[in-house]
């Protein structure tokens, strides 16, 4: 039996969908340790993201200076940051709500924030 190519691609990329919640769940022995793992990862990624945002903003300010501000790169980055933060808050709020206040809702929200921040960090790294 031959599997269709989209199914093969989906199966191969399933690990990429796992995210930090699965990482912490698989590497920690119990719920308190999973929560601690998520808290540490959250603190780490927030620190890294803040540093990368500052670095990227500095690069955009230099670009604005070199182009006499014609492109407003720093302003657009600040607007993008605000939009991203609103998106993260709303999206991860929905993820938490989807647990219907069940067990793990807070961990799911935190993992959502970590996963989105990790993606944003990578994107900012490509742009600066």
pLDDT in tens, 97-121: 999 877 899 999 999 999 999 999 9
49 lies in some domain: yes
9 lies in some domain: no
pLDDT digits (tens, 9 = 90+) for 13-34: 334 446 999 999 999 999 999 9
> What pTM did the predictor assign?
0.83
User: Into how many domains does the chain fold?
Assistant: 1
C-alpha closest to that of 36 among 45, 53, 48, 24: 24
Helix axes 73-97, 105-127, angle to 10 degrees: 160
C-alpha closest to that of 122 among 65, 66, 45, 62: 45
Range of the domain at 119: 40-127
18 lies in some domain: no
12 lies in some domain: no
């Amino acid at each position: 039996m031959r599997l269709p190519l989209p199914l093969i691609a989906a199966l191969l990329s399933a690990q990429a969908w796992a995210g930090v919640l699965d990482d912490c769940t698989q590497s920690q022995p119990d719920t308190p340790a999973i929560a601690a793992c998520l808290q540490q990862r959250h603190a780490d990624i927030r620190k890294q993201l803040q540093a990368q945002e500052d670095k990227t903003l500095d690069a955009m300010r230099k670009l604005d200076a070199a182009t006499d501000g014609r492109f407003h790169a720093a302003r657009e980055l600040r607007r993008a940051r605000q939009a991203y933060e609103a998106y993260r808050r709303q999206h991860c709020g929905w993820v938490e709500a989807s647990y219907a206040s069940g067990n793990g809702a807070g961990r799911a929200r935190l993992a959502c924030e970590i996963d989105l921040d990790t993606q944003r960090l990578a994107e900012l790294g490509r742009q600066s």
